[in-house]
């Protein structure tokens, strides 16, 4: 459990630490807002493409070695940013982060399903909460460490916890070998491409993750343009991710007593929609906006993965379905940071991006009715 959570803590800092210092990185490298958005889009896109390769990765390397390689890639990428702080270096490290996170996220859900059995939903909640907690710490530290040591050093420091996670994972999972094939993998994967239910899960996860990546990349610059200092904007993002962590913990505590996930999903989506309304209509209400967005995103992320696990009948199917959902979902979500950067360049604002996110949340509300208990892909 500790190894899983510590690994999860390292899956977002390279992304979350970028938002609070994005304008400084742009000034140092001469990048446009659209190019800066690509620094978030690229790893998210690679996370999606990598997730689609989960089954061959699991067969070739096994979960223990595959997750270890992913954590090693994250550590190297963070260290690379400290010694190669150019536009080319940032894009190279962003690509490496995407590959590393993709390996961990593709293999970890199947590992959790296989090793924790009926406790998988709760462990999945803790795992996703760990992901959000890592983002919270990274956002909170970004501007302070940057002021003391520079943004290059700030990014480079995240190589240390990634190395710690690698060491802990290798020790904790040392008895694990490659997961059994569990039947005709190609047949299972082909059936998912033809399954309307699998595509529904993919779209639901993609829209929800798009909201997360959009807020992660552009929430601090949005409030910096509204008069907050860089420190204050970073602290606002950190507070938002703390709310996400608390919401994730609440989901982990409540999920075992709620076999019907729809009421929790409806509450989370309503909170997210209210937060977007604040961004559009009353952006000066920073604290309510932070709480509403954080609670909504923080609950939707684990719930969407838990609902996906609910649709699988065995660990191998869970791994393949999760790879399909996360793969396509992250590819969908990767568009949002770049789109927001392009909108900001074109209109000097982010209203169109927030409106698109609101429309997506309304669509998710309609999808939620389909997630009846006992449904399978």
CA distances from 106 to 56, 321, 326 (A): 11, 10, 8
Pair 361, 207: CB distance under 8 Å: yes
Alpha-carbon gap, residue 123 to 215, rounded angstroms: 25
Q: Is the dihedral of CA 334, 337, 343, 349 positive or negative?
A: positive
- DSSP letter string, 56-80: HHHHHHHHHHHHHHHHHHHHHHHHH
For the record, the structure tokens of 184 come out as 């005709």
Place of tokens 């406790």: 119
Residues 6+ apart with CB under 8 A from 69: 61, 100, 103
Alpha-carbon gap, residue 186 to 54, rounded angstroms: 12
Q: What does the angle CA 342 – CA 345 – CA 350 come to, to the nearest 5 degrees? A: 75
Alpha-carbon gap, residue 40 to 81, rounded angstroms: 14
Alpha-carbon gap, residue 103 to 47, rounded angstroms: 8
Distance of alpha carbon 174 from its chain centroid, rounded? 27
Alpha-carbon gap, residue 10 to 83, rounded angstroms: 20
User: Containing H/E element for 197?
Assistant: helix 196-224
- DSSP letter string, 279-311: HHH-TT-HHHHHHHHHHHHHHHHHHHHHHHHHT
Per DSSP, 179 falls in state P
For the record, the structure tokens of 256 come out as 């075992």
pLDDT score of 190: 59
Q: How many CA atoms lie within 13 A of 255 on its CB side?
A: 26
User: Which sequence spans correspond to the domains of the chain?
Assistant: 1-173+185-369
Alpha-carbon gap, residue 290 to 238, rounded angstroms: 9
Residues 6+ apart with CB under 8 A from 77: 14, 93, 94, 96, 97, 100
pLDDT in tens, the chain (377 residues): 889 999 999 999 998 888 888 888 888 888 887 787 788 788 888 888 887 777 777 778 888 899 999 999 999 999 999 999 888 899 999 999 999 998 898 888 878 878 887 788 788 888 988 898 898 889 888 888 998 999 999 999 999 999 999 999 999 887 655 554 444 554 455 577 788 899 999 999 999 999 988 888 788 888 988 888 877 887 888 889 889 889 988 888 888 778 889 999 999 999 999 999 999 999 889 999 999 999 999 999 889 988 998 888 776 677 778 888 988 898 898 888 888 888 877 877 788 889 999 999 999 999 999 998 877 77
Helices (H) and strands (E) in the chain — how many of each? Answer: 17, 0
pLDDT score of 181: 47
pLDDT score of 189: 57
Please tell us whether the domain made up of 1-173+185-369 is placed in CATH 3.40.50.300. no
Alpha-carbon gap, residue 361 to 293, rounded angstroms: 12
pLDDT score of 176: 58
């Amino acid at each position: 459990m500790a190894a899983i959570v510590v690994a999860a803590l390292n899956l977002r800092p390279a992304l979350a630490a970028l938002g609070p210092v994005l304008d400084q990185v742009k000034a140092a490298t001469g990048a446009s807002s659209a190019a800066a958005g690509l620094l978030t889009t690229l790893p998210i896109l690679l996370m999606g493409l990598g997730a689609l390769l989960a089954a061959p990765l699991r067969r070739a390397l096994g979960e223990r070695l595959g997750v270890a390689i992913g954590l090693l890639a994250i550590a190297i990428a963070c260290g690379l940013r400290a010694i190669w702080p150019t536009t080319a270096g940032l894009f190279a490290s962003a690509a490496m982060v995407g590959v590393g996170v993709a390996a961990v996220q593709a293999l970890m859900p199947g590992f959790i399903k296989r090793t924790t059995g009926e406790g998988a939903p709760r462990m999945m909640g803790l795992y996703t909460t760990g992901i959000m907690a890592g983002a919270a710490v990274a956002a909170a530290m970004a501007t302070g460490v940057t002021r003391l040591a520079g943004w290059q050093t700030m990014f480079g420091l995240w190589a240390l916890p990634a190395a710690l996670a690698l060491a802990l994972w290798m020790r904790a999972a040392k008895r694990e070998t490659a997961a059994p094939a569990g039947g005709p993998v190609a047949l299972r994967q082909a059936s998912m491409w033809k399954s309307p239910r699998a595509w529904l899960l993919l779209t639901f996860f993609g829209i929800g993750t798009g909201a997360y990546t959009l807020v992660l990349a552009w929430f601090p610059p949005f409030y910096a343009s509204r008069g907050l200092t860089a420190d204050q904007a970073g602290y606002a993002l950190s507070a938002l991710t703390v709310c996400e962590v608390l919401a994730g913990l609440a989901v982990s505590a409540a999920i075992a007593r709620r076999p019907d996930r729809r009421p929790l999903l409806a509450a989370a989506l309503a909170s997210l929609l209210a937060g977007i309304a604040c961004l559009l209509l009353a952006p000066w209400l920073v604290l309510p906006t932070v709480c509403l967005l954080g609670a909504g995103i923080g609950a939707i992320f684990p719930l969407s993965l838990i609902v996906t696990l609910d649709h699988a009948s065995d660990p191998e199917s869970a791994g393949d379905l999760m790879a399909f959902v996360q793969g396509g979902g992250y590819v969908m979500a990767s568009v949002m940071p770049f789109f927001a950067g392009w909108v900001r360049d074109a209109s000097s604002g982010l209203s169109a991006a927030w409106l698109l996110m609101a429309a997506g949340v309304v669509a998710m509300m309609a999808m939620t009715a389909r997630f009846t208990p006992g449904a399978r892909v």
